[in-house]
């Protein structure tokens, strides 16, 4: 053993014994959404589809229907469908690409990483609403210039609703990712399970009662309109509890316990 091998004290001042803050971890997770080709393309595709839909609307809609609301609602669709995939990938790619080995070695408190990932996809969802608003605004201006109605008939409630729609969607994706920890399984599960539930509920009359409370396609429907009643919010909350909160908690427990290899 060399002379320099004198054991250093356990709390050496050289070591920055400060754990990374949730804010820093969130900024890292946001960066991870865009620093791969797949992530960049997925986000770019969402934006392009939203723009494409608005352009098509300019050509096919009656002039009277070319309003701000008329542009906003459809622009929410591609985001609502694809952004959750971003949320799923953010969580499952750690396991399929096996980066969990590095991520959780650097941050052994896995719940902090999961929290940061959820924060990152929530921020992404809110940002997507801004993009949708911008696309709708651009569409409205273009409509006005080309002889459409181009009226700014939107209500603020609609912006709030848009945010709720995207948040529920992206968190549901993340929850499925967290629960299944496998990209294809989570994507298929996220896209298919609610649909299967809708189909079953439509066929089996006994399920129709519960479906009004548990089928997200039914409970989220009023969000695309203008006003939500308290009862509608209640139903939405129950369905979110079942499809988002439950898999989120179960998935968190699974992630905390799972062996990383």
**Which residues are near another protein by CB under 8 A?**
1-2, 4-8, 10, 12, 14-20, 24-25, 27-28, 31-32, 35-39, 93, 97-102, 104-109, 257, 259-261
Q: Extract the tokens encoding 174.
A: 């993340």
Looking at the Cβ atoms of 205 and 257, the one nearer to another protein is: 257
Place of tokens 């920055």: 16
> How near is the Cβ of 96 to another protein at its closest, in Å?
10
> How near is the Cβ of 249 to another protein at its closest, in Å?
20
Q: What is the DSSP letter of 244?
A: I
Closest CA to 39 of 96, 100, 83: 83
Closest CA to 151 of 160, 163, 166, 141: 141
Q: Extract the tokens encoding 60.
A: 């096919």
* Integer Cα distance of 36 and 47 in angstroms: 17
Looking at the Cβ atoms of 106 and 199, the one nearer to another protein is: 106
> How near is the Cβ of 39 to another protein at its closest, in Å?
8
Looking at the Cβ atoms of 30 and 187, the one nearer to another protein is: 30
> How near is the Cβ of 222 to another protein at its closest, in Å?
39
Looking at the Cβ atoms of 16 and 60, the one nearer to another protein is: 16
> How near is the Cβ of 121 to another protein at its closest, in Å?
17
* Integer Cα distance of 227 and 230 in angstroms: 10
Looking at the Cβ atoms of 28 and 165, the one nearer to another protein is: 28
Is 54 in contact with 139 (CB distance < 8 Å)? yes
> How near is the Cβ of 6 to another protein at its closest, in Å?
7
Looking at the Cβ atoms of 7 and 147, the one nearer to another protein is: 7
> 150 in helix, strand or coil?
coil
Residue 223 CB-density burial (10 A; 0-12 exposed, 13-18 middle, 19+ buried)? buried
* Integer Cα distance of 212 and 242 in angstroms: 13
Is 254 in contact with 178 (CB distance < 8 Å)? yes
């Amino acid at each position: 053993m060399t002379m320099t091998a004198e054991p250093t004290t356990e709390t050496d001042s050289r070591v920055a014994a400060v754990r990374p803050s949730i804010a820093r971890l969130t900024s890292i997770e946001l960066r991870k959404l865009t620093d791969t080709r797949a992530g960049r393309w997925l986000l770019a595709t969402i934006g392009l589809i939203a723009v494409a839909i608005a352009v098509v609307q300019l050509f096919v809609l009656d002039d009277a229907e070319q309003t701000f609301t008329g542009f906003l609602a459809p622009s929410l669709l591609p985001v609502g469908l694809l952004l959750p995939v971003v949320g799923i990938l953010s969580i499952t790619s750690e396991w399929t690409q096996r980066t969990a080995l590095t991520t959780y070695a650097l941050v052994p408190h896995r719940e902090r990483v999961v929290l940061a990932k959820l924060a990152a996809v929530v921020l992404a969802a809110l940002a997507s609403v801004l993009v949708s608003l911008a696309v709708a605004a651009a569409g409205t201006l273009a409509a006005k210039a080309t002889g459409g109605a181009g009226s700014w008939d939107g209500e603020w409630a609609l912006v709030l609703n848009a945010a709720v729609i995207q948040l529920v969607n992206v968190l549901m994706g993340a929850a499925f990712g967290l629960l299944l920890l496998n990209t294809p399984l989570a994507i298929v599960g996220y896209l298919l399970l609610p649909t299967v539930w809708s189909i079953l509920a439509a066929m089996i009359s006994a399920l129709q009662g519960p479906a009004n409370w548990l089928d997200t396609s039914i409970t989220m429907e009023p969000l695309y309109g203008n006003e939500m009643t308290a009862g509608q919010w209640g139903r939405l909350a129950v369905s979110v509890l079942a499809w988002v909160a439950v898999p989120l908690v179960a998935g968190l427990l699974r992630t905390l316990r799972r062996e990383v290899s």
